[in-house]
Structure 1
């Protein structure tokens, strides 16, 4: 059998909600046994069953909104299903993956579940049977419901072999993985003690413990104590898990299943069958029994069961060995979790191998001498025992009451290869972007608090690996948070600050959104000459491997034509103006490298706009010029410019071209070289003429400043450069992206970016304001990202009123820019709907999966085992009332928890009878409170409607609106986008019939 990796775990057992709590319970020797909770049954009515057992807290809690399940369906669902759904989500998160990533994949689901008690309790009253109850009462739907809600297309099946069900499910999942039926599998089991019926059976068979406690292998053992429990593990082929860098708790080396056959009774255990399944599992694993360090036994605490199991274990493991084989049973801590018993032992064993310590066996201090453990080479652990370094092997047994036995062999996870030494970091830790997503703003706040508490409990240190882990795991839900951090102290502070905000999207965002309803539209604005400065982007180059790689590539392309590197000009302390031939190539290199870095992070523009020299980098980004061709042209442009005579320059003026017309009329050699905005104009011409104009403007109170350039770009004085460019042989292509041309002041149509374009571009004025206006008008960008060594164009756009509501970003905003600014840009776009390629922000040493706090679901909604009667057509649904002493049923979440649409949505009013009829029908079918069903609520995503509910909705709408008549499902389906769209469609049908 091939090796299977256990990469994710989640569970909830009596006294232990979650994996960490479970391990703490085992290591402390605790027991989760307590009185029967209110609402299960009255213990006084069933004295033979006893008044205690193992019960999971709040099994009636279910975040139905998160899983898009209507209140009416949630109330009809078997509680086993409700426990499994959040458990599956958390287990997948624990495996280091966002659950949504697996949607549409052949992920398998294998669930052990014993019996069909919910169906017996709810389907016996035929007057209350509904389609929802029919699907909700099927034990076979336990796995199918996970596959449906997570959109998994691999094998999906429920297994019932009585008490061995969940470990048999693990066996089947492993074989499915090895057969290549799936690449990831969820396996485990669930059990809820819904009634005392099976306890009565145990009592009549003499198998029930008087105090409701299992005491495995103890002299005090007197039978079974029943318990709740749910546990799931995520399994993958070992080679796949290692290739994907997933944490491996333990390795499932083999498993075997057998049947007692015709033995000494249908429900009695069989020693020889147990021996056979043990030997078969070890044989398949390629190990001998003496190599097994410990066995998690079935160990129910019944006199007969313990005796037969110990005889089998001793026969197999009692070979000559240096130390006895340790045995134990988690049932001493939890009780017998029946359908979940095998997974409880499996998880305990995986955690023991992971932590390299085996918890003590509860009740080991009063070992049953009649079991002759010492003679058989076995021992009970009276205290936790440390496992030796290296590879350890353990076994897990689970035996079904009907004779189906299973044994699994687990081994230690392989040692991780030594990490590559971390490169030296100057004075700070690497920066990362910590992400959290949730289904509602309130859920986001709740999960931010959970992450803050969990990280605060960790040792202080760098935050990059935690951030990278969050990017892999905590994404995919509609309400998003992202914040940058270098260390855990900073991260905790920023998380806690976000929790206190009204909208916890970003603690520093000036503008926040509740929910990104669509993907952002991003435009790149490429800065031109005049933005250069000594050491530009040096901090980003030092900290970002991606930017370093792309700048080196641009430098290499330029060096082939320039004959020298511009990297030193870019990064050094020397003023670029001292090497004029290198200034333009250096700015081009920065622009291309920044754009390509953003692209490598997954940020791609919908359009580009370049200002003057920036048009070359824009052309490369749009695919109109390749890197080498653009580098050749930029170097040619720089050399031709350097050959111009001195005595010219440029003047930035805070006025429009119209205001400057009188001054320009008196200086015919000066022209408006750049029309950047209504009050942003750049003049170019001879220095003496510019000085005279500056003096005249100063007298008028108009601000003007000389630009740091020795040439009059975009004026007739550039004619010699234009002539040289015009003679160049330019290889260009049709742009792959829309280009806003600052030469033409509009979006490019079919004009090629050839030699004629670049010649005209350097001697004609820059029409930036018109080009930006065209870009905003045609594409309505949500984000404008400036590409250059410091912000210039975004300020011009704001002053000119051309932003159009777009958010302004810059990945390298000035001399102090570092990798944090690039990370902030990625985080801002993530919050609005972009899914970045996060790996590019981190060095390989930081791409290590760190454990994060699991998703915290809402506890506002509670459902239990009494259903509302079906509501007759034309009446509002009655909220089901639980019997005395039980938890409330289908309680509605607070307003902050609702996610039926934007906050501005409104419901139906008395003046809109069609919409009111639709809302009433939806509340009947779904069981929602009327105020929850707003106009913008979507039937599938927000209200959880399926095809059965749609048919019920159709019937109720037709009954409420007789003038609609009968509408076919085919006509109705296109209108079922939202509550409002359905009302509009029905209103149109009524109007058409009236006409």
Structure 2
């Protein structure tokens, strides 16, 4: 059975307002939206700059489509004439993509209620992620996705876990790709102006690498874009994909963004910027734009806050995100932080304060602690209410049992930590969680390796957590900074990711560089034990829990209690499953296949079903490959062959047109009844849903009729193979657009 739908002309005549309204009235909401979108694309092609190319993306912003400010009036006038709708001067700012403007026009032409009816596309899909449950006090906030970039080549939570589990030190030399005068920068004398007395730190590799086109950013704007914004765009995408969410499906949702940032040292002073960067420095360089950049790029409409409390920024962001979810302000929340030292300014500043370790290493709670070691990083955690996560079938990585913040107040100096304030925060957070100190097994401490800060923090932990504990369950104390250095505004979220991974692997990693516990701490005053060696952390009859602390030189403290999630039974898979890989070009497709092969080989605990499900939920790009397998070894071998560019017989690969990405594809599932002559005609006559869908197709393509035929004789129709190949050919020649219709015989 096929649908004979002649193609519509390339340039349809302009519709009058009344004719267009009448035409739309007889269509379903999805078809109405499609007709208006096609009209919009015709109008755009008439006014846009010639460098836009052949395809007009439905979700691309106007500037990317070549519709700049001087052309906006022409587009608005053309649309007003074609639709009969009086459009405000700000319409292209209020509705920044063809997709959103088409929906606005639908509401204006058919009444305000029409725009609220069920349309398709990312905007409608994103609405499913909104909501929140302000009245659900017992519905905890949970972690459903994570992403990170950290020193030592760490590019994922799994890579971070390998680093800490193996006890590796990620501290290295100063970066040589940022234009720093490395010879003139170092001087062993802390008093020497304009120098630093360390040559080491925890720096990110390839921090200048960025693909602006992937995020729809032009070359001029990319030049002015702070690497901190670039990293947060990338890591946010990864956190969403790792949660099994296509980031594009969240467009229009009330997803929130909460980002901790403190450094602002990229590029020259704005008034000294080169000509090609002027006009871009405000949005590319200002701290307050970081969260807004993420929300703008992905189309989120929930709260977007950039938070700066210095070294506690990312953990404060996590706290605010959790509060926003609990109040119902947002349905999903991206919380995290980022630090990139574009200049050596922080090294110089802390050299004058004599706060740096000469070897760049944080010796947390150690007798030979001699200062902090500065580092860089980016980390993002995706949060959701537990009920929403379960409803969506997402894997819950951990539960945020409670979060809290407070301020040191009038302590002994603005930057000096205050032990009693830290104790008050811990006790208040425990009270919020309805827990006792003995219910928490470990603390990921701030632990910067300074001679003053560490003893104050350790004393507060011993007082708040170390009392009234069972003899066999001390509070274990560790610090990620001993591995990677102090990542400043990002530090808190990095510690949170580490502890979520520790819950999963049932192990508390050791803290490096501890020659002996600090003599400035009375370790006998409570049951607190420094993690000088790894400690097994197996599941028991009660939930395992850990706390994470972060303290800023601003005096703002943050504390988070994280809890293991409920266990889930593994599902055995015996039938072949599809593994889907996609990318914007052929080379990245091969690279992704290679990374996936390595990941599956290194993580035998990951079920093939989970891998296939996660890949299927990711964003689909132009270049794609898919194969079916029920065997892990076969999957790894196939992916490695793809990465090497070798021909693989069982892999279907190719590229799709931009029109397909916009939804202009139909798939006809004919079933085994397709070989019965006349079956399609009878289905059309007896099944109203099928009849309406097929009738819609003629309107979608601009035809005046819909003719259902079976173009073969009875002898041919009795053979399934003939029918199948015939249907496949006709699907290619005559696609029915914008819908997937299922047609099956009895």
Residue 156 of structure 1 is matched in structure 2 by 304
The separation in 1 between residues aligned to 2:245 and 2:437, in whole angstroms, is 36
Map 1:227-242 onto structure 2 (within 5 A).
227-242=375-390
Q: CA deviation at 1:514?
A: 4.9
Query: Structure 2 residue aligned with 1:790, among 703, 720, 732?
Result: 720
Contact 2:263 2:341 in 1 (8 A): no
Provide Cα deviations, 1:832-867, integer angstroms capped at 9, x if missing partner: 999899xxxxxxxxxxxxxxxxxxxxxxxxxxxxxx
1:442 aligns with 2:587: yes
Residue 711 of structure 2 is matched in structure 1 by 768
Residues 131 and 749 from structure 1, CA distance in 2 versus in 1: closer, same or farther, beyond 3 angstroms? closer
Residues 61 and 506 from structure 1, CA distance in 2 versus in 1: closer, same or farther, beyond 3 angstroms? farther
Residue 158 of structure 2 is matched in structure 1 by 20
Contact 2:157 2:498 in 1 (8 A): no
Q: CA deviation at 1:788?
A: 8.2
The separation in 2 between residues aligned to 1:23 and 1:795, in whole angstroms, is 50
Query: Structure 2 residue aligned with 1:125, among 250, 272, 290?
Result: 272
Residue 632 of structure 2 is matched in structure 1 by 488
Q: CA deviation at 1:25?
A: 1.1
Q: CA deviation at 1:145?
A: 1.1
Query: Structure 2 residue aligned with 1:433, among 556, 566, 578?
Result: 578
Query: Structure 2 residue aligned with 1:245, among 379, 393, 396?
Result: 393
Contact 2:165 2:509 in 1 (8 A): yes
Map 1:690-839 onto structure 2 (within 5 A).
735-738=691-694, 768=711, 790-793=720-723, 806=733
Residue 120 of structure 2 is matched in structure 1 by none
1:517 aligns with 2:625: no
Gaps of 5+ in 1: 527-546, 548-589, 592-609, 627-731, 741-746, 754-765, 772-785, 809-828, 838-995
Q: CA deviation at 1:460?
A: 10
Map 1:82-121 onto structure 2 (within 5 A).
82-118=230-266, 121=268
Map 1:528-547 onto structure 2 (within 5 A).
none
Residue 903 of structure 1 is matched in structure 2 by none
The separation in 2 between residues aligned to 1:400 and 1:461, in whole angstroms, is 38
The separation in 1 between residues aligned to 2:517 and 2:575, in whole angstroms, is 55
- RMSD after superposition: 3.5
Residue 780 of structure 1 is matched in structure 2 by none
Provide Cα deviations, 1:899-933, integer angstroms capped at 9, x if missing partner: xxxxxxxxxxxxxxxxxxxxxxxxxxxxxxxxxxx
The separation in 1 between residues aligned to 2:293 and 2:516, in whole angstroms, is 44
Q: CA deviation at 1:184?
A: 0.9
Residue 598 of structure 2 is matched in structure 1 by 453
Q: CA deviation at 1:288?
A: 0.9
Query: Structure 2 residue aligned with 1:212, among 353, 357, 360?
Result: 360
The separation in 2 between residues aligned to 1:233 and 1:408, in whole angstroms, is 13
3-state DSSP class of the match of 2:365? Answer: coil
Contact 2:259 2:290 in 1 (8 A): yes
Residues 834 and 496 from structure 1, CA distance in 2 versus in 1: closer, same or farther, beyond 3 angstroms? farther
Residue 404 of structure 1 is matched in structure 2 by 556
Q: CA deviation at 1:524?
A: 5.2
The separation in 1 between residues aligned to 2:488 and 2:446, in whole angstroms, is 11
The separation in 2 between residues aligned to 1:189 and 1:750, in whole angstroms, is 56
The separation in 1 between residues aligned to 2:342 and 2:695, in whole angstroms, is 66
The separation in 2 between residues aligned to 1:734 and 1:394, in whole angstroms, is 56
Query: Structure 2 residue aligned with 1:625, among 686, 698, 715?
Result: 686
1:387 aligns with 2:532: no
Say which is worse superposed, 37-46 or 86-95, in terms of deviation.
Answer: 37-46
Residue 36 of structure 1 is matched in structure 2 by 174
Provide Cα deviations, 1:54-102, integer angstroms capped at 9, x if missing partner: 1111111112221122222111111101111111111111112222221
The separation in 2 between residues aligned to 1:177 and 1:142, in whole angstroms, is 20
3-state DSSP class of the match of 2:482? Answer: helix
The separation in 1 between residues aligned to 2:606 and 2:444, in whole angstroms, is 37
Query: Structure 2 residue aligned with 1:415, among 548, 567, 570?
Result: 567
3-state DSSP class of the match of 2:266? Answer: helix
The separation in 2 between residues aligned to 1:371 and 1:88, in whole angstroms, is 39
1:313 aligns with 2:376: no
1:166 aligns with 2:318: no
Residue 11 of structure 1 is matched in structure 2 by 148
Contact 2:665 2:739 in 1 (8 A): no
Residue 917 of structure 1 is matched in structure 2 by none
Residue 606 of structure 1 is matched in structure 2 by none
Q: CA deviation at 1:525?
A: 9.3
Residue 87 of structure 2 is matched in structure 1 by none
Q: CA deviation at 1:522?
A: 4.6
Q: CA deviation at 1:45?
A: 2.1
Q: CA deviation at 1:269?
A: 0.8
Residue 487 of structure 2 is matched in structure 1 by 337
Contact 1:444 1:504 in 2 (8 A): no
Gaps of 5+ in 2: 1-136, 191-195, 697-702
Q: CA deviation at 1:769?
A: 5.7
Contact 1:461 1:487 in 2 (8 A): no
Contact 2:148 2:378 in 1 (8 A): yes
Say which structure, 1 or 2, has more relative contact order (CA 8 Å, 6+ apart): 2
The higher radius of gyration belongs to 1
Q: CA deviation at 1:21?
A: 1.5
Q: CA deviation at 1:13?
A: 1.1
**What is the number of residues matched between the two proteins?**
580
Q: CA deviation at 1:125?
A: 1.4
Q: CA deviation at 1:750?
A: 9.3
Residue 197 of structure 1 is matched in structure 2 by 345
The separation in 1 between residues aligned to 2:495 and 2:706, in whole angstroms, is 69
3-state DSSP class of the match of 1:109? Answer: strand
Contact 1:104 1:153 in 2 (8 A): yes
Residues 220 and 68 from structure 1, CA distance in 2 versus in 1: closer, same or farther, beyond 3 angstroms? same
Residues 805 and 277 from structure 1, CA distance in 2 versus in 1: closer, same or farther, beyond 3 angstroms? closer
Provide Cα deviations, 1:467-511, integer angstroms capped at 9, x if missing partner: 2332123x33232222222323443444445446599998357xx
